[in-house]
Amino acid sequence: MSSEWHDLVEQVRGRALKIAETSATLSALRVTETSPGGEVTVEVGGNGALTGLRFTDAVTRMSGSELGALVVETAARAAASARSGRDEVFDRLQAEY
| Helix orientation angle between 64-95 and 3-28, rounded to the nearest 10 degrees | 170
Residue 72: give the domain boundaries: 3-95
Distance from C-alpha of 78 to C-alpha of 50, rounded to nearest angstrom: 9
How far apart are the two ends of the chain, measured CA to CA in Å? 25
Pairing assessment for the beta strands 50-55 and 40-45 based on DSSP bridges: antiparallel
pTM score, two decimals?
0.79
Task: Give pLDDT tens digits for 6-51.
Answer: 888 888 898 889 889 888 988 899 999 999 999 999 999 988 999 9
* Domain total of the chain: 1
CB atoms under 10 Å from CB of 38, counted, come to: 9
- Reported as a pLDDT band with limits 50, 70 and 90, residue 70 is very high
CATH number of the domain residue 46 falls in: 3.30.1310.10
